[in-house]
Structures are given as C-alpha cells and as structure tokens.
Structure 1
Amino acid sequence: MNQDHELIESTPVVVEDRRPEAPPDVVPGTTLGSTDLPPRPFDRRPIVPTWIRDARQRKAFVRWLAAYAWHTSAFHTVRLPKYLARIVLQAPLGAGRAIAALFRWVTDAEGRPLRLSAIERGDVTGYMSLSRQRNNRVRLRLTTTASLAACAVSALGVAGVLWPRLSWAVLALMVALAGWHGRRENRPFLDPAVVVQRARKLTPDLVTHAFQAAGLGKEDNPVTFPRPICRDGDGWLALVDLPYGRKAADALKKHQDIAAALDVDEVQVFLDRIRGEGGSARRVALWVADVDVFAQKPAVTALAKADQVDFWKGFRFGQDARKRPVRLAMVWSSLLVGAIPRMGKTFAARLPAAAAALDPWVQLFVFDGKGGKDWQPFELVAHRYGSGARTAVVEHLVHVLHELVEDMNDRYERLRELPNDLCPEGKLTPAIARNKQLGMPLRLVCVDEVQRYLEHPDHGKTVLELLTDLVKVGPAVGIMLVLATQKPDAKVMPDSLRGQLGIRFAMKVMNWQSSDTILGAGAYPDLDASKLLRAHKGVGILLGSDDGALTEFGGQIIRTDLMDLPTLQKICERGRELRITAGTLSGVADGGDYIVEHPAPRLLDDVLAVFTEDEARLWSETVIARLAEANPDAYDGWSPTDLATCLKPYGVTTGQVWGQTPDGRGANRRGISREAVLEALAAGCD
C-alpha cells in the first residue's frame, strides 16, 4: 500500500482455473467418473466492488488516500531545493545527450551498419542505393532542423522583446528538460516518500507461489481463486481454493510457512476457514495486513459512550485483525480468561461485567482475588462484592456461592410451574428476568484470580464444588460465570470445572500445555496461545466450545477493547443511575455490608494470655500450640520461627528456656519469658 509512484488498484485480475471442469451435461446427483470433477455452485460476482458498498472499507480507503496524498506532497515540497540542484547539475549531461541524439538522427547514423555491410559484401548497386537514400534523408533532416531552429529563434526573439520575462521561463524549461534527460537510469529522479514494503500488493502469482512453497499445491495443480484479490481494510484479502483433496485445516497448520513465502512476519498473515453455503472444506480466506495490526493503538470500548446495554443481545468485546467487531453473548454460557501476568487479563474479564453494569436488570457478583483497585468501581453497582483472599472474604464467597446454588435449584422448580406461553423452552426469558415479582434476574458472577480461592487450604474444595455446580446448570436459568486466572493449571482448575465453561479466551501463556488447558484438550497445534507476542497486550484466542453462535467461527485471534479505570468508573456511575431509576439497586451497592471481618489479633496480649500465673518461661512450641488452640484463624500453622519473627519488633527475643517434655525429662529449648512480654506491653502503653 505504501508506494509514492503507484496507487493500488482495488480489483486485480483473477487467476484462471486451469483444471478441467465438470462436463456441462452432468446431472446433479449422478455418479461422475474418476477423472471428472464435481460441479461447483454458480457464484455471482458483485456488480459493485465490496470496498465501495461497505462503509467501513470505503472510509478506510479514503483515510489511506488522504494520508498518502498529504504525506507525499509534504515530503516532495520539502525536497524541492534538492531536486532543483539535481536538475541543474544534470542539465549539461542531458543537453549533451540531446545534441548527440539529434546529430545521429540528422546524419542518419542508424543506416551506417547497412552501408558498411554492403561494402563488405561488395554489393556496389546496394551501396549506391543506400548512399543516395542517405544523402536525401540527411538533406531533408538538416533542412527541417535548420528551419525549425530558425523559426524558434525568431519566435523567441520576438517574444523576448514583447515579454521580457518569457525568455527566463523558456530557459528554465530547457534546463528542466535537459536535467530530466540527464538523470541516472539506476536511480529514481524523485526520492521515495515512503518505505517500500516487501509485500505491498497481494497478487495471484504471489499467493500461488506462497502456497506451493508451503506444500499446498503444485505447478500442474495449483490453488485457484473463486473471487478477485482485493483490498479489505488495512490489508489484502484473497479467497483461496486448495487443490481437490487438500483440506483447509492443512493450510491453517502451514500458517508460518505461508508467511515466510510471502516474505512478511507471521503476525501480519491470517488464515480462516470459510464455512457454510459460500464455503468449502478446501476454501480458506487469506488476509495479509500492511503492518502489525495488533501493535497499533487499541480501540476504546464502545461501552464508554453507551447509555444502556441489553445484556440479552450481547455486547462488543473487541475486534479482529481486520477491525471487524467481535460481539460476545454471555447469556446461556460462561467465560474463562487465562493469561500470564500483565497481558490484559483483568481488562478482558471486566468487559462483560461493565456491560452487565449498564443493564439495570442484571445483578453483579464481583470477587477480586488479587485485591487492589482493578474492580473497585463495581462497588457502585454490585449486589455482592469482595476484594482480596483473606479469610473473611473467602468465607463470604462460599456463603454467596451457596446462596446462588440454592437460588439456581429454586429457579428450576419455579420455571417448571410457569405456563408454557410464558416459559416456552423451559429456560429463563427476558420477560421473566425483568419481572420483579418473579425475582429471577440475570446474575453475572465475576471472579478474578480465581486460583487464590481454589487454593485456599480450608475452603478451596468447597469453592470448586460450588463453582462447578453453577457452571454446569446455572446458565439456563440466568446465572453466568466469568472466571479469570493467571495460573491455568489443571490441578488448580480441574476439567470438571474448566470443561463446562462455554467460552474461552486465552491470551499469552508460557507453553502449549497451558494454552490447551484454557482452550480445551486438542486445541493444539491449530490453536496455540503461547505463540502470541508479549508486546500484543489484550490479544488472545477467543473460542466458543458450547452450542452458541461463537462456536461456528472457531478460534479467532482478537484484541479486546480498551477500558481503563476512569472509563470504568464512569460506566459504573451510569449503571448505578440506571439501577436507581429502575428500582433494582441492591446489596452492597445499596449500602449492605455482608463481610464479617475478624478483628486483627493483638499479638502481645494473646501471648501473655497463654501464660499461667505460675509460669515464668515457656518454650516457643508450647506458646504457638496454645495460640492456635485459642485462635486458630489467626495462629494456625505458625512455627517457632514465625513467633520469633513477629515478636522481634516489640523487643521480645527468644532464648534458651528450661522445661520438661511430656515424658518428664528436662531439656533446654528456644522460648520466651513472661517478664519480657510484660515489659514490651508496658513500653507500648508508654
């Protein structure tokens, strides 16, 4: 696309299919011979090119043309002094070339080899004939040249008297023509305004060569093109039919080989299956971008300007490499987002929650295992909210999941009793969900860094069981889950939970095993998130694995829309206003406080409490055992080293303490004295 001397044509020529076609008299349904090919359905080419009819492509072309024209004109305008100097320096050479050419023409230099040949052959008659012809031609050309020169000089003389400035214009024109004629043939006269890309234009010959180099065709059996190669957005689009017998899946596996044959980076090459009525098991769409599209600035989420969202109809999640919007429908399904840290995992997981925030009939349940500010704006709209992985939050999550499971079971019972005209498919409907009397709104449960809850020593197993129960049968009654993790490990998130999540979004991971954990077993090698670049923030493979519409597209490489914290704050504020207007503000957003915080223990007081009045010193192991028995939530799992580390800031140190073992024997072990604890308490009070 980036050329300063050539504008790109929008409709290149189609490569002709050189393979034999099916006989015209073959009746559909009859058996063909072994050498005959099955007939293809009639495919009409559009009367008006696609890029003219499509507003997005039309705007992209106009933007490119305007930017191209502005940059090229500005580039050459700045270099006008250089071009003028080049013309002046090359003018003498050009003038010499012009005079030499005129001299050769006037003297009939082109006929000299014929005359010399006649002399060598001794052909007197032929030579005399050629000489007379040469004399007549030279006389005519010399007379014509002299006459034209005299007329030109006379005209210039008269014009110089009448218009004095005209002589300078004529002189400048002659110098310019001489300079242009004296230019070097191995170097362009004008400097290129842009860097020439190696694959600036996708042609049928180039694509055919690339597929042959990848082992997907031969010279006597090449790929063919059902439609012309054309511009599509910021790249070239080619529909390619592989040779009969070769599958489209074979081409997808040769992605890197095709990119190498096209001499571009594989991040600029995209291959997709063409399914349905206009597709074939051997047809693929090859799109080659002009630049690395995912290295450009991401699009800001459309939710930032949306007044309200109907969560039943889905929402924009991001866009693919060709800048086509990708919508996500969460109703009837659940989402798993997995990636290594700092790849945009939380940003992606927040998009469904933000869309739900703009639908006042959706209840939000948000738990952030990491803590911090990433999900804090959702406190304005969330029905339940928890941040961090401390014991009180984990206990609250377990309680909420129990409530959701009970509500899920109750919904099935109540849906069974509703009339068929109100509940025609036995599932939740928009009318039912928005009926306050029925009390069955859509519920979206978002759990970021879910592995922190699943790995909890006391409640992890319970959290796993409850999440699995919800994800299996909850979507049909309007309870959906969004789980995000930076640890896509089969041990942390077993297949009993992971395998039930209908939508998967895998961003950059470290290896193909982690990619398979997120996308599902068998996704590799066709889909491998470990090949994504670290520089591509927010880019991942989106895959639908349930019966939703997303499943038909297969794995798509997309980039999520950008939604930073200020934008999210405004969205949640708008969502709060919508809930207040609709009368659906509830839970935490309505002022409820459901997390029971355990008071932080006062270590010195607790340590002093384990001493009896007649005990002056105790072993550290005895102290931590009594602490764990009195307050297991705070001290369970402590070691003598932990006790010594925590007491050191208070000035209490451990030393050798004499005591008796359970069998009555005496021994010296590390311990603390009651007097040291009392002194530390007194110092703290002072």
Structure 2
Amino acid sequence: MGLVNASDDTIYGVGLETKDTESILHYNETIDGLPPERLVAACRSFQSQLDAKRVRVKNLGAGKMEIHFIQEDPLDEALPIFEPSPLNLNIMSVDVGRDADGETFKVKLKNASGLLLGGLPGGGKTAAASTFVLPLALAKDDVDMMIIDGKGGADWSAYENLVSKFISESTSFESVRDELVNAVQEMNERIQSNADVLGHSNFWSVSPETRRQAGVKLKLIVIDECQALFDMTGVNDKEEKALRNEIIRACTDLIKRGRSAGFFTIFITQKPTSESLPTAIRDNCALKISLRVSTPETEKAILGSSPDDAIDVPRATNIPLSRPGGAVAESENGERTEFRFYFFDENDIKNYLRQINYQSHNGM
C-alpha cells in the first residue's frame, strides 16, 4: 500500500483478516509518521485490489482502528415492503430501513419533539417518510395526526381519511396558521394538565395503557414541503409575511416545548436553506435525516454540520445516485448513521389501505 518503505523489515502490529463478505485491516499499533487520515486514504486507493465496494472505518481509540473493505454492501440492496412496519408503542419506534452493518434502523419518537427530513427534489422524501408515518397514522387509539402539505397535490392523498386534520393547499396560510396556533394552545393545556391527568408531567414517562385510559394521544404533525410556508424570499405582501411569521413562531414553539406534552412535529423539505428552514427549528429536532444532496452546504442546512475533517463520517453528499432511499441520520448527540430506507410504493400503500378499509367495513 506504500505506507512504509519497501526496504523496511520492521514487523508492525497490522494484519489483514479475510471473510466471505469483507476483509478487515486491523491497525493495532500506531506507526510513527503515519497519521490516520493518510492510512484511510491509502486504504480507499487500495480497495479495488480487494474487490471492495466501499471502505468503512471503526475507530477503537488509542490510535487503533479497524478498516473494513466491504465486498457486499447491505446498502446496495433495494428494500421494498408491501405492508407497514410494526409500531413499538412503548418507545414509539418504527423499523424504517437497514444500516451499513445490515442491522435494522429505527426512527424513535420517544422523548423527542421533532424530526427533520430533507433532500433534493425527486429524492424520495415522501416515500421515505411513509415508512414511519403510515404505521403511526394507523395507530388511531394512540396517535392523533395532522398533515399539512405545503406543496399541495396528491402525495399524501391516501392519508386523508386516516388523520384528524388534512390541509393540502400551499396558499392556505390562514388555515395552516389557525391549526398550528390551536396545536400550540392544546400543547400549553397539556403542559398544565399532564401531571393531574396522567400522573406525570412528562407524556413519555407513563405507559401506553395509561395514556389510552386517560384519552391522551401522541399529537403528530407532519409538514411536507415546509419551505413553502417558511421561506420569505420574494414575499412582499405584508399580510402574507405576517401569516408566515405566525406559522414559524407556532412551529418553533411546538418543537421547543412539545416533548413533555406528547407533541411531535415532522418537517420535510426539498429546499434546505437557512431562508426556508429556520435554524431554531432545525437545531431543536432531535433527529435529522438527509437523503442524497449535492453540496456540503445543503447537507449542513439539514444536519446542522458538515464534518469535513472527520475520518469516515457518513456524508449525504457521498450517497450514490444508484441508491434511492439512501440516507444519513444525525442524532441529538451528533452521532451519524448511514442507512437505506425501505421502499413502500405509493400505489402499494393505497392498495393496502383499500384492503384494510374493505375488511373493516365487512367485519373481517
């Protein structure tokens, strides 16, 4: 690999382990004059000689590393599904895909107030969101859902009969403002009443059975194409500006104070910029997910950071075009995970919902 001189006969604490689906370079002893960045770069240059599709680095601390040359990448496999993933009511989690280790990746709502999902136009944001929104929409005994589609259109039409509020007009700022202001009022009432009604001030600190008996559901708000509501660029009408500002204030309030009240807001955008996505909203989302993007600036607008100097940190800019549904998630503590969403086709969603509606109407 050219990391030491060809005439160097020193035995180093480095070994290559070969497996069926990957080879692992064990770097157990730091080599003087060999910084980790150079080692990783050399391994990436060397990967074709091991027939590896990609390289993944595990930092073990104290200068030790494992560098995995992966021949069969779990992220290259398409993951179609034909029915919703099960919902874990205790932690409000849904299996939404598979990570780089081939393990199930979950979206968990418990003890959080929001999620941001961003990506380029046509990148599959609505399809990705459906993997975790549909199981929640079907849990009507435990979840009260509102959908606001800032773009308008038919992307969310299959959900209209599943949710308590459905707004699909990008110009209906008054309706959006009114619903969000009402949500803030309900949140404030819950903050005051949760201790008496649930026996605990935090919605998430009691069991699903306790919440169900008290009639207190998770309030889930989905705002698709949120930039259509937030972005002031080119808006000159004073009344419209005032409405947009009220919408932004309500969303900011919900995301900052909604956790203990049992309010969770999902923001979806195809225009992740500081103008279209207020940083106070982005930074208060416990989970941020970026589908493929083309620039570090766009990635930073979604995830809140772009770790240029870190070794082998998953980057949304590195997701290949050949991997629809590929994504990078960043948790509240800044940890990143690369994964691929399951794909639930919108026509399959409609067929599934028609089937369960037929069964419920016929007592099956």
**What TM-score comes out, normalization by structure 1 length?**
0.45
Q: Deviations over 1:41-62 (max 9, x none)?
A: xxxxxxxxxxxxxxxxxxxxxx
Cα shift at 1:358:
3.1
Equivalent position of 2:105 in the other structure = 326
Choose which of 130, 134, 139 in structure 2 pairs with 1:354.
134
Kept in 2: contact 1:239–1:285 (CA 8 A): yes
Aligned ranges 1:123-142 → 2 under 5 Å? none
Structure 1 residue 295: deviation in Å? 4.5
Q: Secondary structure at the match of 2:111?
A: coil
Taking the aligned partners of 1:568 and 1:520, their CA distance within structure 2 comes to 32
Measure how far apart 1:374 and its partner are.
1.5
CA distance in structure 2 between the partners assigned to 1:498 and 1:241 by the alignment: 38
Matched, 1:504 2:288: yes
Is 2:184 the partner of 1:405? yes
Tell me by how many angstroms 1:562 deviates. 0.5
**Quick check: 1:380 aligned with 2:154?**
no
| Alignment length (residue pairs) | 343
Query: What is the one-letter code of the residue matched to 1:465?
Result: R
Cα offset, 1:385, TM superposition: 0.8
Q: Does 1:482 align with 2:266?
A: yes
Query: Which residue does the alignment assign to 2:53?
Result: 268
Residues 16-35 of structure 1 aligned to structure 2 (within 5 Å): none
The match for 2:257 is 473
In structure 2, give the amino acid aligned to 1:562.
F
Q: Could you list the per-position Cα deviations for residues 339-376 of structure 1 after superposition, in whole angstroms to 9, with x for gaps in the alignment?
A: 11112122112222112023231111111222222111
* Alignment counterpart, residue 211 of structure 2, candidates 411, 422, 433: 433
Give 1:530 deviation, angstroms: 1.9
Question: Which residue matches 1:130?
Answer: none
1:569 corresponding residue in structure 2: 350
Where in structure 2 are the equivalents of 1:512-591 lying within 5 Å? 512-526=296-310, 527=313, 528-546=315-333, 554-573=335-354
CA distance in 2, matches of 1:345, 1:495: 20
Q: Which residue of 1 aligns with 2:195?
A: 416
Correspondence for 1:230 among 6, 19, 27: 19
**Structure 2 SS opposite 1:337:** strand
Equivalents in 2 of 1:424, 1:495: separation in Å? 28
Please tell me whether residue 449 in structure 1 is matched to residue 228 in structure 2: no
> Which amino acid is the alignment partner of residue 537 of structure 1?
P
Q: How does 1:134-213 map to 2 (within 5 A)?
A: 209=1, 212=3
CA contact (8 A) 1:353 1:444 kept: no
Deviations 1:580-627 (A, max 9, x none): 99xxxxxxxxxxxxxxxxxxxxxxxxxxxxxxxxxxxxxxxxxxxxxx
* SS of residue in 2 equivalent to 1:413: helix
Paired residue for 1:299?
79
Classify the secondary structure of the residue corresponding to 2:268: strand
CA-based RMSD of the aligned residues comes to 3.4
SS in 2 for 1:484: strand
Alpha-carbon distance change, 484 to 414 in structure 1, aligned in 2, over 3 angstroms: same
How far the C-alpha of 1:485 sits from its partner, in A, is 0.8
Question: Aligned to 2:122, which of 342, 346, 361?
Answer: 342
CA distance in 2, matches of 1:386, 1:342: 22
Shift of 1:491: 2.0
Distance 1:289 1:355, change over 3 A: same
Relative to structure 2, which stretch is displaced further, 263-272 or 321-330?
A: 263-272
- Is the Cα contact below 8 Å between 1:255 and 1:271 reproduced in 2? no
Aligned partners of 2:331 and 2:361: how far apart in 1? 35
TM-score, scaled to structure 2: 0.81
- Which amino acid is the alignment partner of residue 323 of structure 1? G
Q: Higher mean Cα deviation, 487-496 or 567-576?
A: 567-576
- The CA distance in 2 between the partners of 1:426 and 1:378, in whole Å, is 25
Name the counterpart of 1:162: none
2: distance between equivalents of 1:491 and 1:390?
18
How far residue 293 of structure 1 moved from its aligned partner, in angstroms, is 5.2
| SS of equivalent residue, structure 1 residue 559 | strand
> What letter corresponds to residue 510 of structure 1 in structure 2?
S
- Could you tell me whether the CA contact under 8 Å between 1:223 and 1:243 is conserved in 2? yes
Q: Which blocks of at least 5 consecutive residues in structure 2 are unaligned? A: none
Contact 2:55/2:67 (CA < 8 Å) preserved in 1?
yes
CA distance in 2, matches of 1:330, 1:502: 9
CA contact (8 A) 1:349 1:482 kept: no
Aligned CA distance change for structure 1 residues 431 and 511 (closer, same or farther; 3 Å): same
Matching residue's letter, 1:431: E
- Is the Cα–Cα contact under 8 Å of residues 381 and 572 in structure 1 kept in the other structure? no
SS of corresponding position for 1:477: coil
In the alignment, is residue 287 of structure 1 matched against residue 65 of structure 2? no
1:447, 1:500 → 2: CA distance?
16
Q: Does 1:310 align with 2:99?
A: no
Which structure has the highest helix share of the two? 1
State whether residues 311 and 356 of structure 1, in contact with CA within 8 Å, keep that contact through their aligned partners in structure 2: no
* One-letter identity of the residue aligned with 1:414: S
SS at match of 2:340: strand
Give CA-to-partner distance per residue, 1:301-343, whole Å, 9 cap, x none. 3x7165x533444111111234321122122222111111112
Residues 524 and 348 (structure 1), Cα distance of their counterparts in 2 relative to 1, 3 Å cut: farther
Q: Deviations over 1:175-203 (max 9, x none)?
A: xxxxxxxxxxxxxxxxxxxxxxxxxxxxx
Determine whether 1:364 maps to 2:151.
no
Assess if the C-alpha contact under 8 Å between 1:541 and 1:555 holds in 2: yes
Instruction: Determine which structure has the larger strand proportion and give its number.
Output: 2
Which aligned pairs between 1:650-669 and structure 2 lie closer than 5 A? none
Q: CA deviation at 1:223?
A: 4.8
CA deviation profile, 1:538-558 (whole Å, cap 9, x unmatched): 111111125xxxx6xx31221
Match of 1:495 in 2: 279
User: In percent, how many aligned pairs have the same letter?
Assistant: 18
Alignment of 1:4-83 (within 5 A): none
Change beyond 3 A, Cα 1:538–1:522: closer
The one-letter code of the counterpart of 1:224 is: V
Deviations 1:85-124 (A, max 9, x none): xxxxxxxxxxxxxxxxxxxxxxxxxxxxxxxxxxxxxxxx
Contact kept, 8 Å, 1:339 with 1:485, in 2: the verdict is: yes
Task: Report the structure number with the largest CA radius of gyration.
Answer: 1
Larger RCO (CA under 8 A, 6+ residues apart): 2
**Residue 405 of structure 1: how far off its partner (Å):** 0.9
SS at match of 1:317: strand
Residue equivalent to 1:37 = none
Could you list the per-position Cα deviations for residues 153-189 of structure 1 after superposition, in whole angstroms to 9, with x for gaps in the alignment? xxxxxxxxxxxxxxxxxxxxxxxxxxxxxxxxxxxxx
Q: CA-to-partner distance for each residue in 1:185-224, whole Å, 9 max, x for gaps?
A: xxxxxxxxxxxxxxxxxxxxxxxx48x38x9xx9747453
CA change 1:400–1:578 in 2 (3 A) is farther
